A and B are shown apart, each in its own frame.
Chain A
Amino acid sequence: MDIALGKEDLAFAERMRSFFRSEIPAQIRLKGERGEHWSREDYVAAQQILNANGLAVPHWPVAWGGQEWSALQRHIWAEEMALAHVPAPLAFNAAMVGPVIATFGSEELKQRFLPPTANLDIWWCQGFSEPNAGSDLASLTTRAVRDGDSYVINGQKTWTTLAQWADWIFCLVRTDPEAKKQLGISFVLIDMKTPGVTVRPIRLIDGGYEVNEVFFDDVRIPADQLVGEENKGWDYAKFLLGNERTGVAGTGIIKSRITRLRKVAAQTSSHGKPLLEDPLFLARLTRLEVETTALTMSVMRVLANEAKHPGRPDPLSSVLKLRGSELQQEATELLMEALGPDALAYRESAAAADGFTALPDGAVDAMPTYFNWRKASIYSGSSEVQRTIIARAILKF
């Protein structure tokens, strides 16, 4: 998107690019480039390097490790990180609970949680969704009852990403069942080691364990683990979800997938020629590239609008989520198609059995990623929710 950037921002992008490519260990970046899963240690190692250099939580207040960057610079930071195959700072920490604590938490909570959250010494997971509260999140029923200096929590969360690795969970819980549904919700922090917390893994269609159910049976937490005011949790959740307008496009992910796809298609032979020269394949790839370029420019427009009119609702940000998730999915589909029969075996590792030829790049993850990425148009406001937001904006109902 260099055409749209000024000199200073181009220099900033160059600075980010060279940092990510020189300071993050090559073996971590290589995993990303190959589409392999990062381990918990990889995430922690990368985030701690970023944090030591002031690059883990740039959107936080300066006092807590933030940078006075423009929204465009934050976007460039995230985009260059994705293009360099660096694991982004854990979203639950950096983009979600951190900003909520920094904005609404007491001084005590900030001192206690912000430094280890920025440094990934605490791994957070997100307790929002419930079996009967998905798109209609405010209908959640996990209950927190005040009892002296404690809250006692009962209920269930689901789709909790990487809860198996988490130290703490931030939860939306119902503290006032009598109030209108958005008004009786509070935002609490729970140590995963607290008695009564049970994690049950959910196996997804890609064969992996990414999400979990988390059960709370008479879980007693100190009342000072409430963030902000009781019954204001919905406001904090809206703040948290509205924080990120452009990351949802995932343009960095799409571009790095396309780069990988080009590599795979150049190495794959089809009818005696590289697949990359197959007119039908190339046409689909080109269309994906055009739509991705358009999306990248749409991101720039959202950023420019945001700089001019901070906080003003912009239906264009729904376009980013809607089209972004579709294009991310399309890229996974093309990669799977490029691999052909090499994508079919379900494998845990890229090592070929003794005596067999080495597997091509992508053979392990192409189909699982295709299956897994159907999630992108479901989470963070499904495509149908985004269409409803857009329809409401243009039809004004």
Chain B
Amino acid sequence: MDFDPTDEQRMLAETVNSLLDKRYDPSSRLALLDSELGWSRELWQQYAQLGLLGLTFDEQYDGAGMGAAELATVMESFGRSLVLEPFFPTVVLGGTLVSEAGTPEQKAAILPKVAAGELLLAFACSERGSRWSQTDIGTTATRAGDGWTISGQKIAVAGADSADTLIVSAVTPDGIGLFLVDAAAVTIASYAMQDGQRGGDVLLADAPAELLGTDTDAIDHIRAVIDVATAALCAEAIGVCERMLAMTVDYLKTRVQFGRPISVFQALQFRAADMYVALEQARSMALLAGLSLAGDDPAARRQMVRAAKIQVDLSSRQIGQEAIQLHGGIGMTMEYPVGHYFKRSAVIAKTFADTNELIELVGAEGGLIG
């Protein structure tokens, strides 16, 4: 029983961290955040060269053939530096959807380009008024000759602003299908998300579409990919929370009031200790989510991933709120990094489901113990 990273994972983390340490100092990040694109195409190419953009793809599609643990390694590092490039929408969501549901031809056409950094993807599934449901949606797909057309609206699509190809969920006669849609064929209202990452709403009006894979009901694929993505978000959140705790600890030790570093005050020590407890409980569950993805039983896997996200979200909220409180006024400023971490963790907690939704789902499936 060994939960430490393997040598390979350690090397991967070192490689990614050394690049990010050089390129993601707070002022460079602030500059990127304010740039028109909101991220760096040049860094994107570096990720491609490091093999990160095809990390989990099969080797026959120019991927590195790695698994959930390596993806978690990269996500944790990205969380630590609050990376802005659209890795999550393109690689984790888009790439995994194509790997999971696509035909061999679609995989061959899409995955090598993603791995090379030449193609950006986004997953358009959420809709106004549907909250977290993947099935209660209004976007519909209609057969048109050999292909399909899609009409409807999607919201809060991470990476929609720069995606070349969208993967859109839509109602088909058989259920919920997944479709490849050229971004040029839809209207995209772009914006920055609350954490500064870019995205947008998508308006589809008889947009020409190609069915991803062969199933006109792809809900099982969607759920399986959300499991993988949720475990990845858990790992990212661990990186985010680690940094918030580390920054808070540094601040408590260096901030002097009443002639002493404020770390001497027990009221603050205990709050920092509780942040550590929350972080370690979240880390345990993020690890467990990764381990459970290797399991055979999809229902058990889903329960554990959802349970992990509940713990991670509860811990992130506590750590984030306390990090701001313990920093005092400086934590409220955009200039200081801790607030950016807090914002990212708040967005992670509202991606695919929120805590209440997850608690309800895990409870309804019979819980975890007994």
A-to-B contact residues, CB < 8 Å: 3-6, 9, 72, 255, 258-259, 261-263, 279, 282-283, 285-287, 289-295, 297-298, 300-301, 303-304, 307-308, 315-316, 319, 322-323, 384, 386-388, 390-391, 393-397
Asked whether, in the complex, the Cβ of A283 is within 8 Å of the Cβ of B360, the reply is yes
B288 is an interface residue with CB less than 8 A from chain A: yes
On whether the beta carbons of A4 and B281 are closer than 8 Å, the reply is no
| Sample of 7 more A-B contacts, CB < 8 Å, known A261-B370, A289-B307, A294-B284 | A290-B310, A290-B368, A293-B368, A303-B1, A388-B270, A388-B273, A394-B272
Q: What is the interface of chain B mostly: helix, strand, loop, or mixed?
A: helix
Any A CB within 8 A of the CB of B191: no
Contact A394 B249 (CB under 8 A): yes
Q: With A291-B311, A298-B280, A395-B252 known to touch, is A262 a contact of B367 (CB < 8 Å)?
A: yes
Q: Bound state CA distance, A88 and B276, in angstroms?
A: 31
A-B contact pairs, 21 of them (CB 8 A): A3-B304, A5-B1, A6-B1, A285-B367, A289-B368, A290-B285, A290-B307, A293-B307, A294-B284, A295-B284, A297-B288, A300-B284, A301-B287, A304-B1, A319-B280, A319-B281, A390-B276, A391-B270, A394-B276, A395-B269, A397-B264
In the complex, the answer to whether B281 meets A291 with C-beta atoms within 8 Å is yes
Shortest distance from the beta carbon of A257 to any chain B beta carbon, whole Å? 9
Closest to A255 in B: B369
Classify chain B: how many residues form its interface, as a range. 35 or more
A residues within 8 A CB of B364?
A: 282
CB–CB B281/A295 < 8 A: yes
Q: Chain B: residues with CB nearer than 8 A to chain A?
A: 1-4, 245, 249, 252-253, 263-264, 266, 269-270, 272-274, 276-277, 280-282, 284-285, 287-288, 291-292, 295, 304, 307, 310-311, 314, 356, 359-360, 362-364, 367-370
Residues in chain A near residue B314, CB distance under 8 A: 287
Known contacts A297-B284, A298-B281, A300-B3; decide if A395 and B359 are in contact (CB<8 Å): no
Residues of A within 8 A of B304 (CB): 3, 293
Residues from chain B with a CB closer than 8 A to the CB of A263 are: 370
Q: When the two chains form the complex, which single residue of A258, A279, A297, A304 contacts B370, counting CB atoms closer than 8 Å?
A: A258
Q: Which B-chain residue is minimally distant from A386 (CB atoms)?
A: B273
Instruction: List, in ascending order, chain B residues with CB within 8 A of A387's CB.
Output: 269-270, 273-274
Which residue of chain A is the closest to B280 with respect to CB atoms? Answer: A319
Q: Is A286 a contact of B284 with CB atoms below 8 Å? A: no
Tell me, rounded to whole Å, the shortest Cβ–Cβ distance linking B92 to chain A: 22
A391 to B265, CA, bound (A): 11
Find out whether the CB atom of B1 lies under 8 angstroms from the CB atom of A4.
yes
**What residues of A have a CB within 8 angstroms of the CB of B274 in the complex?**
387
**B280 interface neighbour in A289, A316, A386, Cβ under 8 Å:** A316
| Residue among A282, A304, A391 having the largest count of chain B Cβ atoms under 10 Å | A391
Nearest CB to that of A392 among chain B residues? B269
A320 to B69, CA, bound (A): 25
A216 to B252: give the CA distance in the assembly, Å: 48
Docked CA distance A5–B264 (Å): 41
CB-CB under 8 A from B367, the residues of chain A are 262, 285-286, 289
Complex: A390 Cα to B271 Cα, angstroms: 11
Residue numbers in A under 8 Å from B252 (CB-CB): 395
The 3 closest A-B pairs by CB, nearest first: A297-B284, A391-B269, A259-B370
Interface of A (DSSP majority class):
helix
Which residues on the B side are within 8 Å of A316 (C-beta)?
280
B232 to chain A, nearest CB (A): 18
Q: Which residues of A contact B245 (CB under 8 A)?
A: 394
Residue of B at shortest CB range from A261?
Answer: B370
Alpha-carbon distance A238/B287, docked complex (angstroms): 32
- A5 to B359 alpha-carbon distance, docked (Å): 26
B310 & A297 in contact (Cβ 8 Å cutoff): no
Whether B362 and A290, one on each chain, are in contact in the complex, defined by CB atoms closer than 8 angstroms, is yes
What are the residues of chain B within 8 A of A295 when measuring CB–CB?
A: 281, 284
**Cα separation A29 to B353 with both chains bound (whole Å):** 42
**B277 lies within 8 A of A323 (CB):** yes
Q: Residues of B contacting A297 with CB < 8 Å?
A: 284-285, 287-288
A3-B291, A297-B287, A307-B1 as given contacts; A259 in contact with B369, CB under 8 Å:
yes
Chain B residues in 8 Å Cβ range of A294: 281-282, 284-285, 288, 311
Chain A's closest residue to B287 (CB) is A297
Contact present for B3 and A258 (CB under 8 Å)? no
Say yes or no: A298 contacts B284, CB within 8 Å: yes
Q: Which residue of A is nearest B291, CB measured?
A: A3
- Please measure, in the bound complex, the distance between the C-alpha atom of A170 and the C-alpha atom of B273, giving whole angstroms: 34
Q: Given the complex, which residues of A lie within 8 Å of B359, measured CB to CB? A: 283, 286-287, 290
Question: How far, in Å, is A69 (CB) from chain B's closest CB?
Answer: 13
Asked whether, in the complex, the Cβ of B276 is within 8 Å of the Cβ of A3, the reply is no
Partner of A293, one of B2, B277, B285: B285
Q: Which residues of B contact A394 (CB under 8 A)?
A: 245, 249, 272-273, 276
Q: Would A293 and B276 count as touching, CB distance under 8 A?
A: no
Q: Which residues of A contact B263 (CB under 8 A)?
A: 395, 397
The CA-CA distance from A384 to B254 in the complex, in Å, is 24
Contact between A287 and B1 (Cβ–Cβ < 8 Å)? no
Residue contact A3 to B281, C-beta cutoff 8 Å: no
A262 to B: closest C-beta gap in Å: 5
Which A residues lie within 8 Å of B280 (CB)? 298, 301, 316, 319
Q: Are the C-beta atoms of B284 and A3 separated by less than 8 Å?
A: no
Assess the B292–A3 pair: CB atoms within 8 A: yes
CB closest residue in chain A, given B250: A395
Contact for A3 among B253, B277, B295, CB less than 8 A? B295
Which residues of chain B are near A319, meaning CB under 8 Å? 276-277, 280-281
Question: Is A9 a contact partner of B369 (Cβ separation < 8 A)?
Answer: no
Residue in contact with B284 in the complex, picked from A262, A301, A308, CB distance below 8 Å: A301
Q: How far is the CA of A308 from the CA of B5 in the complex (A)?
A: 13
Q: B244 to nearest A CB, angstroms?
A: 13
CA distance A253 to B313 in the complex (A): 26
CB <8 Å contact, B310 and A287? yes
